[in-house]
Amino acid sequence: MKFARNAQSLDASYIREILSAANQPEMISMAGGLPASSLLPVELVRATCESLADNSHLFQYGNSQGFGPLLDTLQRSSKTQNPWLICNGSQQALDLIARALLEPGDQVIAEMPAYLGALQVFQLSGIKVCPLMSSTSGPDLDQLESYLKGGNIKLFYSVPDFHNPTGRVWSTETRIAVAKLCRHYGVTLVEDAPYRELRFAGEQLDTVSEHCPELSISLKSFSKIGFPGLRVGAMSGPADFIAVAERIKQATDLHTGIPQQAMIEALLNHPEFSEHLTRLRQGYQSRYQHLSDALQQQLGDLVQFDTVEGGMFVWLTLTQGNSSDVAARALQHKLAVVPGAAFYPADMALENSALRLNFSNTEPALFPEAVNRLAQALQPMALTA
Ligand code: PMP
């Protein structure tokens, strides 16, 4: 069969491949971006699940825009009047954005390293990614402005809260400055925020979109605060954009499944939902603390990392060695981690000094052993001796 050019060039996701290795017995996986299985709020939707069979209307075709009660819930919690579209995860929102706004050869800006799933969508659509460097307070604003000044940028794809893979959060000043720049140059901002609710320290900051709602598209995921397996996410944006994205969604899959939207709606409106979020944040804070302590105690000067105030990831910089080699050796020691190179487009200068460590899906007591395995992977000479 002759495949389309963009399909031929789409790289297999390193993470999906490593996830299959991660299922091996005795493997400790810090590779995926999975929420803690033990903290999934199954009890909060048990009654809804049990009553599904009594609600046959939920099994009919539905609206492309989404299940009415879920749309109402989202609208009630919105700070803007922008309408919502329910998607199969926020991943589908990225695909719909690309199809609604971008032509092959168009340029988008993305912070590097970047969320791999967004890079795949851009690659599949033949989009050129302009890499934007970032630091602990957010993207390099001078570089951002020089890209915007060039005049060929269609949109800026951003993850301002607990970035995947770096765990970084943009400062308030950066948020305001980015909104101002996008306004000045008339460039669409895509704000992807699946980890925003997972803050366990520090203060919640405004979204960037609040400062420029007329040209922002905000993505919401229910995978990290609810259930990734249900594949429900959403996006809001200017009404003309949402109308076009809805037509594309209709042509793609008609609509997202109604029973799973009803389950998410029940979860969000459950009286114990905010307690669930508190439990989740505490659980992740404890995991992060165990990981951070183990890294400092066992690896000391061999690694560096910035503290994180939420999310699911630590971006670990190795002071020596190549991170792809270390990740490969870690697998032999039954520890799965993702090397930094996986978060760059294939044709870009490769990162070889960092690893992404996920801390949400490992039980706290396992971190000393996980870091011990990483220490062994960092010292192959000592091992073979
Ligand atoms: N954006 C980012 C930054 C992510 O990390 C992820 C998933 N890990 C997604 C979008 C997609 O999430 P979902 O489709 O499950 O909502």
Q: How far is the CA of 91 from the centre of ligand 1 (A)?
A: 6
> In the predicted model, is pLDDT for residue 383 greater than 50?
no
Do 5-40+274-384 and 54-268 agree at the fold level? no
176: how many CB neighbours lie within 10 A of its CB? 15
How many helices and strands in the chain, by DSSP H and E?
14, 15
Look at residue 351 in the predicted model and tell me its pLDDT: 75
Averaged pLDDT, 347-362: 89
Please list every protein residue whose CB sits less than 6 Å from any atom of ligand 1: 33, 89-91, 115, 117, 159, 164, 192, 194, 221, 223, 228, 233
Tokens in use for 217? 């598209």
Q: How far is the CA of 89 from the centre of ligand 1 (A)?
A: 7
pTM summary value: 0.95
Q: How far apart are CA 13 and CA 300, in angstroms?
A: 31
Q: How far is the CA of 114 from the centre of ligand 1 (A)?
A: 12
Look at residue 25 in the predicted model and tell me its pLDDT: 85
> In the predicted model, is pLDDT for residue 57 greater than 90?
yes
> In the predicted model, is pLDDT for residue 102 greater than 90?
yes
Q: Which of 59-73, 156-170, 320-334 has the lowest mean pLDDT?
A: 320-334
Closest ligand 1 atom to residue 33 Cα is 8
Closest ligand 1 atom to residue 94 Cα is 10
Do the beta carbons of residue 310 and residue 199 sit within 8 Å? yes
- Is residue 122 classed exposed, middle or buried when 0-12, 13-18 and 19+ CB atoms within 10 A define those classes? buried
Average pLDDT, the chain: 94
Task: Give the residue carrying structure tokens 């599949």.
Answer: 124
Do the beta carbons of residue 134 and residue 140 sit within 8 Å? yes
Averaged pLDDT, 32-61: 96
Q: How far apart are CA 85 and CA 233, in angstroms?
A: 9
- Is residue 321 classed exposed, middle or buried when 0-12, 13-18 and 19+ CB atoms within 10 A define those classes? middle
Q: How far is CA 194 from CA 212, 228, 239, in A?
A: 19, 11, 22
Q: Whose CA is nearest to atom 8 of ligand 1?
A: 33
Strands (E) located in 28-94? 28-29, 84-87
Task: Tell me the three state secondary structure of residue 300.
Answer: helix
pLDDT, tens digit, for every residue of 254-275?
Answer: 999 999 999 999 999 999 999 9
> In the predicted model, is pLDDT for residue 372 greater than 80?
yes
> In the predicted model, is pLDDT for residue 310 greater than 50?
yes
pLDDT more than 70, % of the chain: 96
pLDDT, tens digit, for every residue of 201-217?
Answer: 999 999 999 999 999 99
DSSP H or E run through 164: none
Q: How far is the CA of 90 from the centre of ligand 1 (A)?
A: 6
Domain ranges of the chain: 5-40+274-384, 54-268
Per-residue confidence at 346, pLDDT binned at 50, 70, 90? confident
Look at residue 16 in the predicted model and tell me its pLDDT: 66
80: how many CB neighbours lie within 10 A of its CB? 16
Do the beta carbons of residue 264 and residue 230 sit within 8 Å? yes
Q: What fold is seen in the domain 5-40+274-384?
A: Aspartate Aminotransferase, domain 1 (3.90.1150)
> Can you spell out the DSSP letters for 113-154?
S--HHHHHHHHHTTPEEEEE-EETTEE-HHHHHHHHHHS-EE
Q: Which of 110-119, 255-264, 296-305, 350-359 has the lowest mean pLDDT?
A: 350-359
Q: How far is the CA of 299 from the centre of ligand 1 (A)?
A: 30
> In the predicted model, is pLDDT for residue 230 greater than 80?
yes
pLDDT, tens digit, for every residue of 144-188?
Answer: 999 999 989 999 999 999 999 999 999 999 999 999 999 999 999
Per-residue confidence at 12, pLDDT binned at 50, 70, 90? low
Closest ligand 1 atom to residue 232 Cα is 16
Residues ≥6 apart with Cβ < 8 Å to 273: 41, 44, 267
> Can you spell out the DSSP letters for 13-48?
PHHHHHHHHHTSTT-EE--S-PPPGGG--HHHHHHH
Q: How far apart are CA 274 and CA 344, in angstroms?
A: 36
Q: Which of 23-32, 240-249, 250-259, 295-304 has the lowest mean pLDDT?
A: 23-32
Pocket test for ligand 1, best of 19, 86, 115, 162 (most atoms within 8 A of CB): 115
pLDDT more than 90, % of the chain: 88
Averaged pLDDT, 297-317: 96
54-268 maps to which CATH number? Answer: 3.40.640.10
Per-residue confidence at 281, pLDDT binned at 50, 70, 90? very high
